[in-house]
Amino acid sequence: MKKMRLLCLLALLLLRTATARASAAVQGSQAGNRSSLPSLASCQKSCGNLSFEYPFGIGAGCFRPPQRDFELICNNADGASQHPRLFLHDGHTEVVGDIITSDKDGLPEIDVSFSRSVSVSPEVDAYNMSWNPWKSPCYYHVSLNFTGCDFDMYMLDPDTNKMVGGCNTTCPHEDITDSVARQDCNGTGCCTTQVYSEFARGFDIKFVRHKIGKLKLKAHSNRSSIWDTIDVTSNYASIPWAIAVDEPGPLGNSKDYACLSNHSSSQLAYQYHYTDTPQYHCYCDGGYRGNPYITDGCSRDKGYDPIQRKTNCSRWCGEISVPFPFGLEDGCSARMSFQLNCTNSSLSALLFLDEFDDTAGYSRNYVQYINISGGLVNVKYNLYEAERLSVRVFQDPGLYVASGGVVLQQWAVANLTCHEAQQNKTGYACVSINSICLGVNSEQEYVGYRCKCLAGFDGNPYITDGCKDVDECPRNTMYDTTIKMCVSTKEQNLVLGEFYGTTNSMQ
């Protein structure tokens, strides 16, 4: 599943590159007049264990009008024992992953699943089914399995009637049930087809019985459901979504312009033919994160929480120490990027959690050592090629920086300047006295800040009283790095308040 998703992502990135030139005029456009949304405060934001955000929503006023593409349905009707299930507005297409509006690493897409069946009778030789989950044309990547007996299946583009996919089934041996046939799905009782459909309005699916099929059907009509039902089940399906351009002219001038947040911009999405309606999506500008589709949705990085929420956190993975701000369990690290997975403590096997895997599932990056004072992690890669890559944790900004092809990665705690970070006392990472804030830069850009104990102190600047005096100053005095001698605590604090700077320190 993950691999498929990434392959799809790659395809879409290529797509984006291909359309980038045509959309140059719109890229980075900034709205002069942004309309405001009605309050979304009372809108549902999750269904079962799935979460979603505006422009998606449940109920009038909670999703982006006028099309119903962004309307979701939460179906609780299956009874209390089952999870509520989330559907697109067609009521058939189930959403199976969180809907994220802030994914900057590709076009946003929804992972869905689809399952329908039609009963067949000996008198009728042809059946139809349509799948139109999205009103605006979009790019589909689907893999469907059909179970049935002696049918040709055709998938057609409803606008052009062109065949985009299809396969055949023959009748299996009488003992074969539909679930057995589906496991192999080799053409006997079940067949599979993959469709990459650009700019489609969904699919029409046609089933035509083989001439010989009718006889067999009569002979086997009391066997497994393969003989009297056609089932269509998605193996994998994703729908990349975008906003349809509603009027000509610069995007930002439209009264229904979707990128409502300050610090957001738009980019034209796929437009294959000049006759097609162009579509776009919104993103938060560099250094901002969040939901560009709502007022004030894009903000500076707020992902760091300096308080360890759980008290009894494990701090070792075998022989590897995992100090705060890193952690192994929920509530034990300061942000998502710093939560690690100790997959085998006897082997000291420590992985990044939910890592955005650039190499499509081929490599796992093992953490071997965490260096708090140097702001480094030592990573062992499985692939040589991967050594150039920075570790990237899905849904968090890029806070790890590969350092020139070696296995060390620098890290920052949040993409904020020291000055910005110090404005928000509840989110500021350098909580120990005698700690200072440093900037971390990659070769290309500013990555964020980290903390360090003052010279003469050592330990963990991310925890209260974590920086310990390593010089021999008496009680109530501290080592002052600027004058290189012990001074009273009071004086020291004055010096600290003014000290912050940037460094690119790599030894």
Looking at beta carbons only, is 287 or 481 nearer to ligand NAG? Answer: 287
Distances (CA, A) of 185 to 178, 315, 365, 395: 10, 47, 35, 35
Rg over alpha carbons for the chain, rounded to the nearest Å, is 28
Looking at beta carbons only, is 426 or 476 nearer to ligand NAG? Answer: 426
CB of 49 vs ligand NAG, minimal distance in Å: 4
Looking at beta carbons only, is 228 or 305 nearer to ligand NAG? Answer: 305
Contact 332, 313 (CB under 8 A): yes
Looking at beta carbons only, is 37 or 43 nearer to ligand NAG? Answer: 37
Looking at beta carbons only, is 275 or 312 nearer to ligand NAG? Answer: 312
* DSSP per position, 301-368: ------S---SS---EETTEE--TT-BSSTTSSSSGGGBEEEEETTTTEEEETTB--TTTTS---EEE
CB of 274 vs ligand NAG, minimal distance in Å: 25
The stretches of 187-244 forming alpha helices (DSSP H) are 213-219
Looking at beta carbons only, is 251 or 478 nearer to ligand NAG? Answer: 251
CB of 301 vs ligand NAG, minimal distance in Å: 8
CB of 10 vs ligand NAG, minimal distance in Å: 21
CB atoms within 10 A of CB 213: 22
CB of 36 vs ligand NAG, minimal distance in Å: 8
Looking at beta carbons only, is 68 or 380 nearer to ligand NAG? Answer: 380
Per-position b or e across 264-296, b if 16+ CB within 10 A of its CB:
bbbbbbbbeeeeeebbbbbbbeebbbbbbbbee
312 vs 36: CA distance, rounded Å: 45
Tell the residue number behind the tokens 């001074």, with chain if given.
Answer: 487
Contact 268, 22 (CB under 8 A): yes
438 vs 413: CA distance, rounded Å: 10
Q: Give the single-character DSSP code of 106.
A: S
CB of 32 vs ligand NAG, minimal distance in Å: 2
381 vs 402: CA distance, rounded Å: 12
User: Residue 143: beta bridge partners?
Assistant: 194, 236
CB of 397 vs ligand NAG, minimal distance in Å: 4
Looking at beta carbons only, is 23 or 337 nearer to ligand NAG? Answer: 337
Looking at beta carbons only, is 263 or 281 nearer to ligand NAG? Answer: 263
CB of 53 vs ligand NAG, minimal distance in Å: 15
List of residues contacting ligand NAG (CB under 6 A) = 32-33, 49-50, 83, 97-98, 126-128, 145, 152-154, 166-168, 172, 176, 180-182, 184-186, 188-189, 192, 222, 233, 235, 253, 262, 286-287, 295-296, 302, 304-305, 312, 314, 341, 343, 353, 397-398, 415, 424, 426-427, 445-447
CB of 424 vs ligand NAG, minimal distance in Å: 4
272 vs 98: CA distance, rounded Å: 28
454 vs 463: CA distance, rounded Å: 14
